[in-house]
Structure 1
Amino acid sequence: MKTVGWHASHELYPPGKLIRLARRAEGAGFRAAMCSDHFHPWTPQQGESGFAFSWLGAALQATRLPFGSVCCPFGRYHPAVVAQAAGTLAEMYPGRYWLALGTGQALNESITGGAWPAKPERRAYLREAVDVIRALWSGETVTHRGLVRVEGARLYTRPAAPPLLFGAALTAETAEWVGSWADGLLTVGHEPDRRRAVVDAFHRGGGEGKPMALQAAVGYAPDEGEAWGDARARWPVAGLGQDLLQDCPAPERIAAAAAAVRAEDLRGKLRVSSDPGRHVDWIRGDFAAGFGAVYLHFIGRGPDRFIDAFAEKVLPAC
């Protein structure tokens, strides 16, 4: 079954408003949801950054939607704490929560004061963290002394069935690696050629037959100029390089770099259009590429208007 979901952007809205929007999205016909997990927003202008695990408990109670989230299980989190937090959600709401893991950004993980590792070391951290989390969910008492250190940890509250553990990947190289260990793939809304490369690499790495989900950053307003203006004002980070976004520790420094981003720099990186039919085509393309779920991350103003317009003109056509 193909699913169009709604993405809760903790960077753009306070947690209380996101609960209200989650209810509205459910009532409008969105059939699933997911959320970001940041300590800082990308830029100070975005203005918010609620704690995802607290919010997820409330959102799962406030709706009947299945939810997922993506986090880095080292740095500000320890993998045993991630296993406990995610396992608790899965015990309270069986079958309604999945977790995606990635190598994170210095923006969020460097707040603990440790050195920010290079990408190969972050991958090694993540791979060890995955094994620790799965072992804890299976009921083992875990002692692990590698890049990740765990001493005698055991989860006494565990779900009957562990959550699906997705791997987050932006590039084909990472997608191929993720295919070797993850239960599924989470990626972003690439252009068709890059999307195909990511999917092919995931399958090549061992992901054939596993579920795939995609998060698409979406801009919409009745006026095309307004839609692009909102995208430039509220999500200019889409025009920045991944090295900067992964390695820069301060929202102010990211904002300074983003000040030079123009609306034309965002074309092909955000799905912005005033035409609902264009959004339908994008989503249909994702489904045709093999994705079972597409989560729409609205980056404009007027989230209620977006939900209502897509409920009327986009969701029924997908």
Structure 2
Amino acid sequence: MTAYGYHASHEQFPPAELLALIRAAQDAGFGTGMCSDHFAPWSARQGHSGHAWAWLGSALATTELPMGVVTAPGQRYHPAVLAQAAATLAQMFPGRLWVGLGTGQALNEHVTGEPWPAKEVRTRRLEACVEVIRALFAGETVSHDGLVRVDRARLWSLPERPPILLAAAVTPGSAARAARWADGLVTVNQPDEAQVDTLTAYRDAGGRGPAVLQAHLSWAPSRAAALEAAHDQWREVALGGDVAWELPLTEHFEQAARMVDASHMEGAVHVSDDLARHTAWLSRQGEAGFDEVLLHQVGTDQLGFLEAFGSEVLPELNS
């Protein structure tokens, strides 16, 4: 049975408010949680970007929810440092953490001052980081020289079971390649339900483990309000193509999205004021093979969303 959870968007809310929201999500009946890991927001209108790993410790300590995070080792995070953070959380909260690993976005990674590599180089760097992280989780002393460098690293505080490592992939090609190493897949909804193609490519390549979908949606009491909320908060993410991976600054995303009309939002965000329509769409994601669906209300009315979906949508999905 598909589990339905709440996505905590660090780009959109300050960390203290987001912590209150994840608690409210648990109270509303959401069964799981996940969060983004950004250094900068997509737009100044969003205006936030708390430290995901610091926040995760508080979220895990003050709820009973299993939690996930999508992150990128290799530039902003050295793989040994990221492995230490994940191992610490997994030791304190056994069986409640998964980590999605991707190649990253210049928006978050450029802050190190290192050049932003081409996609193929980023992919090979990610694969090297996965090897390092798994070896550290196994208790090995790790040295590595290549696209990442590690000198005699060892984790001294290890969990009984390391967190599973999911591949964060959007395209079928990336998902199929990641099937070599991943314990599962995490992806996002796309125009024309292309997320199903990504999942199919992962499975056809031998990909095992859970399939997780971050489901962008916009609900409001009227359809016009739902569409406006999606356009206001999420139009930069709706640009498509390689833009999301290559632009380094929030201002660049705002400039690029000036020509994105509100009517263009519905491919990237499921927009409706009708709770039954949201229920049917979310149910289809489970039927398509996603084991966990994390609902991301892209609008700013989070408490209204939690109340409405907790009382009317989740009971239908979980029946």
Q: For 1:180, what is the secondary structure of its paired residue?
A: coil
* Match in the other structure for 1:162: 162
Code of the residue aligned with 1:93 in structure 2: it is F
Q: Matched residues in 1 for 2:24 and 2:266: separation?
A: 29
Code of the residue aligned with 1:143 in structure 2: it is S
Code of the residue aligned with 1:160 in structure 2: it is E
How far apart are 1:90 and its partner, in Å? 0.3
- Aligned-residue RMSD, C-alpha: 1.0
Number of corresponding residues: 317
* Match in the other structure for 1:152: 152
* Match in the other structure for 1:298: 297
Equivalences for 1:1-318 in 2 at 5 Å?
A: 1-191=1-191, 193-207=193-207, 209-318=208-317
Code of the residue aligned with 1:164 in structure 2: it is I
Code of the residue aligned with 1:268 in structure 2: it is G
TM-score with structure 1 length normalisation? 0.98
Contact 1:238–1:270 (CA under 8 A) maintained in structure 2: no
Contact 2:170–2:195 (CA under 8 A) maintained in structure 1: no
Contact 1:8–1:33 (CA under 8 A) maintained in structure 2: yes
Code of the residue aligned with 2:279 in structure 1: it is V
Q: What is the CA deviation profile of residues 92-140 of structure 1, one whole-angstrom value per residue up to 9, with x for unaligned ones? A: 0000011000000000001010100000000000000000000000000
Q: Matched residues in 1 for 2:154 and 2:62: separation?
A: 30
Code of the residue aligned with 2:195 in structure 1: it is R
Contact 1:232–1:262 (CA under 8 A) maintained in structure 2: yes
Q: What is the CA deviation profile of residues 193-214 of structure 1, one whole-angstrom value per residue up to 9, with x for unaligned ones? A: 523311221012221x421000
Q: Matched residues in 2 for 1:85 and 1:130: separation?
A: 15
Q: Matched residues in 2 for 1:267 and 1:45: separation?
A: 20
Q: What is the CA deviation profile of residues 45-91 of structure 1, one whole-angstrom value per residue up to 9, with x for unaligned ones? A: 21000000000000001100000001000111100001000010000
Contact 2:237–2:244 (CA under 8 A) maintained in structure 1: no
Q: Matched residues in 2 for 1:68 and 1:139: separation?
A: 23
How far apart are 1:270 and its partner, in Å? 0.5
Contact 1:90–1:96 (CA under 8 A) maintained in structure 2: yes
Q: Matched residues in 2 for 1:186 and 1:295: separation?
A: 10
Q: Matched residues in 2 for 1:312 and 1:267: separation?
A: 25
How far apart are 1:192 and its partner, in Å? 5.5
Q: For 1:267, what is the secondary structure of its paired residue?
A: helix
Contact 1:87–1:158 (CA under 8 A) maintained in structure 2: yes
Contact 1:276–1:313 (CA under 8 A) maintained in structure 2: yes
Q: Matched residues in 2 for 1:210 and 1:63: separation?
A: 25
Q: For 1:131, what is the secondary structure of its paired residue?
A: helix
Q: Matched residues in 2 for 1:312 and 1:140: separation?
A: 48
How far apart are 1:191 and its partner, in Å? 4.5
Detail structure 1 runs of 4+ shifted over 2 Å in the superposition: 190-193
Q: For 2:267, what is the secondary structure of its paired residue?
A: coil
Q: Matched residues in 1 for 2:105 and 2:281: separation?
A: 28
Residue segments in structure 1 that go unaligned for 5+ positions in a row: none
Code of the residue aligned with 1:273 in structure 2: it is S
TM-score with structure 2 length normalisation? 0.97
* Percent identity of paired positions between Structure 1 and Structure 2: 47
Q: Matched residues in 2 for 1:67 and 1:261: separation?
A: 33
Contact 2:42–2:237 (CA under 8 A) maintained in structure 1: no
Contact 1:40–1:49 (CA under 8 A) maintained in structure 2: yes
Query: Which stretch shows the higher mean deviation, 195-204 or 37-46?
Result: 195-204
